[in-house]
Every structure is written in C-alpha cells, then in structure tokens.
C-alpha cells in the first residue's frame, strides 16, 4: 500500500487527507517546523459536511525531517508549489510520485523542469471546500476530480486506490485539456469577482459585468485555440455562465484571497494566459487590463 504525504493541508489538502484516510490509505501531513501540532505528535482535522462534524487524526512529519517520501500530494496555492517542494526536496525518493492539485497552469512545467526525475501528475478538482478555522474545513459541495499526466493514456497502478475514494475521482487521458478548461473558466470569473469584490452571481446579474465576461471569453478562446487547445474552450461562454449560476452565492477563491490580504493566483491564471497569447501573437486587451487593475488594487496589501 502506498503511503501518501500531504504538503499544503489547507481546505483541499485537508479534504483529500480525510478522503484518503477514509479509504484506508496511510496518510501523513507534512508541517512547517514551527507548527504546534508537531510537538503534539499528531493533528486533528475536523470536517463539516451536511452539518455533521467528522474528526480525523493524522500522523505528522516536520518538513525538515529526512525520512524519504515516495508519494506526495501537493495542494498549496499555485505560486507556492515550487517553494513548498523546494522545502522538502531533500526527502524526495528517486522517481517519487508527486500529484499537483491547484488552480492555474505554469507551475506544473516549473516543477517538472526543476525536478525532472519526479514522476509528476496533475489534477483538477471541483470539490467545494473552505477553511473555517485552522484545522476545520467545511466540505460545502461535492465535486469531481480528474487526474492525469500529459501524454499518458492509462492510469498508473497507484491510481487504483484513489478510485476507491468516497468521491468521484477519475483518470483523464487528456489532462492538458482538463487543466486548460479549468484555467479558461477561472480566468473569466475569478479576476472579475476579485476586482469588483462581488459574489459569482453578480457576473450574471449586472449587465456591465456580464458583458465583460463575454468579452473575456472571446479573448480566452482565441488564445486557447492558437495554443492548440480548441477542445478546452468549446462553448466556453455558456459553460462559464452555467458555473456562475451554479455558484451564484459563492465567493471565488481569488476574491477570498483578496479579502484575506493574501497573494492571488492571477499570475498562474490570466498571467499564464497572456504569456501564451504573446507567444502565439494573440492580443487580449480586456484580460490585460483586468490583470493590471487587479495588481494595482492589491499593490501594497501586506500578506496576512
């Protein structure tokens, strides 16, 4: 049986830790050296789902320890992927399996380029989870998770145990398309909600914002098509509107970051998109203005 270590036990990392443990898969949380749970010798994650509380106790391990890691799930923010992995790189077994699960694109290539010997997988999830307190997570909405490795049609052996999780978790033979589709949807929703500090539903209700979302979708589609990702943006605008309606009262992850004074993932969403546009000679003025405006708005905000 594989033993998974989780780096980034926030809302999504904590949720997957509980799902793995419920499926009988050994799982340890990796913690910063100053985390008080290290002294306690274990960490308790409380998961609230349908108004019921489920408590899970986990083994913990300090990042600086040196026992080797063979199966690693990384659920940090996109911009923390490389620094977080660098903090435990001395523990990575040769050829270790590493699964990266965050919004955005760009960090996957950065990780693979810096640690070429890792067996690197990428995932995309629509699970709705947010942190209510330090180790308390609300599992607000059941979603599905797709995992894959570019160019790999069938799942590796280790994935069989993930298919036993109490959630929909499937192998994708085309993870690039999955990640691009998620990127396209996030680029059309998250920066607008973060700039206007509104719930997702406002993007359907306010005509000016709805028009902006439509224009963003047109530019995003043009860049995706030029990048060879036409399949990811088929019917992008209706899909984006469906996500907006289905999550109308939600605050997007980027709005939550802005309100908490945290860095946003904009460089791995709109930033990545614009870099692709530049590479293929496709301009995206609406997206560029949005990125600029968001950066200007958040300039000087000290991280919480």
Least distance from C-beta 144 to ligand PAF, angstroms?
13
Contact flag: residue 189 with ligand PAF (CB under 6 A): yes
Contact flag: residue 220 with ligand PAF (CB under 6 A): no
For ligand PAF, give the closer residue by CB, 168 or 247.
247
Rg (CA), the chain: 19
Least distance from C-beta 241 to ligand PAF, angstroms?
12
Among 76, 253, 264, 276, binds ligand PAF (CB under 6 A): 253
Catalytic-role residue among 55, 77, 182, 295: 182
Handedness of CA 59, 142, 201, 190 (dihedral sign): positive
Among 97, 103, 145, 172, binds ligand PAF (CB under 6 A): 103
Least distance from C-beta 157 to ligand PAF, angstroms?
30
Least distance from C-beta 254 to ligand PAF, angstroms?
7
Only segment of 50-58, 85-93, 229-237, 250-258 that touches ligand PAF (CB under 6 A):
250-258
Question: Torsion-angle region of residue 43: left (phi > 0), alpha (psi -120 to 50) or beta?
Answer: beta
Least distance from C-beta 40 to ligand PAF, angstroms?
32
260, 194 contact by CB (below 8 A): no
Nearest 10 degrees: CA dihedral of 172, 176, 182, 184? -150
For ligand PAF, give the closer residue by CB, 103 or 145.
103
For ligand PAF, give the closer residue by CB, 229 or 253.
253
Contact flag: residue 247 with ligand PAF (CB under 6 A): yes
Q: How far is CA 23 from the centre of its chain?
A: 22
Handedness of CA 170, 173, 179, 185 (dihedral sign): negative
For ligand PAF, give the closer residue by CB, 92 or 140.
140
- 207-226 and 285-298 helices, crossing angle to 10°: 120
Q: Residue 149 to residues 88, 102, 241: CA-CA distances in angstroms?
A: 22, 15, 29
Q: Is position 55 annotated as part of the catalytic site?
A: no
Beta strands (DSSP E) in 50-193 are 52-62, 69-74, 92-101, 119-125, 128-133, 136-141, 144-148, 168-171
Residues that bind ligand PAF (CB under 6 A): 103, 185-186, 189-190, 200, 243, 247, 250, 252-253
Residues serving a catalytic function are 182
């Amino acid at each position: 049986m594989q033993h998974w270590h989780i780096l980034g036990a926030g809302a999504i990392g904590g949720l997957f830790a509980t799902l793995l443990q419920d499926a009988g898969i050994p799982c340890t949380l990796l913690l910063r050296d100053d985390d008080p749970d290290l002294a306690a010798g274990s960490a308790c994650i409380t998961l609230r789902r349908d108004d019921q509380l489920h408590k899970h106790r986990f083994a913990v391990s300090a990042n600086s320890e040196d026992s080797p890691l063979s199966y690693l799930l990384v659920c940090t923010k996109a911009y923390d992927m490389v620094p977080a992995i660098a903090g435990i790189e001395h523990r990575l077994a040769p050829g270790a399996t590493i699964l990266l699960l965050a919004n955005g694109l760009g960090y996957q290539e950065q990780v693979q380029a810096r640690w070429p010997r890792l067996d690197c997988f990428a995932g995309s999830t629509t699970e709705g989870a947010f942190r209510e307190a330090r180790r308390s997570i609300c599992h607000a909405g059941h979603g599905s998770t797709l995992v894959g490795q570019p160019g790999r049609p069938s799942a590796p052996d280790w994935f069989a145990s993930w298919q036993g999780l109490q959630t929909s978790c499937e192998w994708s033979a085309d993870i690039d398309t999955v990640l691009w589709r998620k990127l396209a949807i996030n680029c059309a929703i998250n920066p607008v909600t973060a700039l206007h500090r509104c719930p997702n539903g406002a993007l359907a209700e306010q005509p000016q914002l709805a028009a902006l979302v439509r224009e963003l979708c047109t530019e995003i589609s043009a860049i995706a098509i030029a990048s060879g990702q036409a399949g990811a943006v088929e019917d992008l605008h209706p899909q984006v509107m469906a996500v907006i309606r289905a999550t109308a009262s939600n605050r997007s992850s980027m709005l939550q970051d802005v309100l908490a004074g945290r860095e946003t993932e904009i460089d791995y969403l709109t930033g990545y998109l614009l870099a692709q546009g530049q590479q293929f000679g496709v301009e995206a003025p609406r997206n560029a203005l949005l990125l600029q405006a968001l950066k200007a708005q958040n300039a000087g905000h000290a991280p919480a």
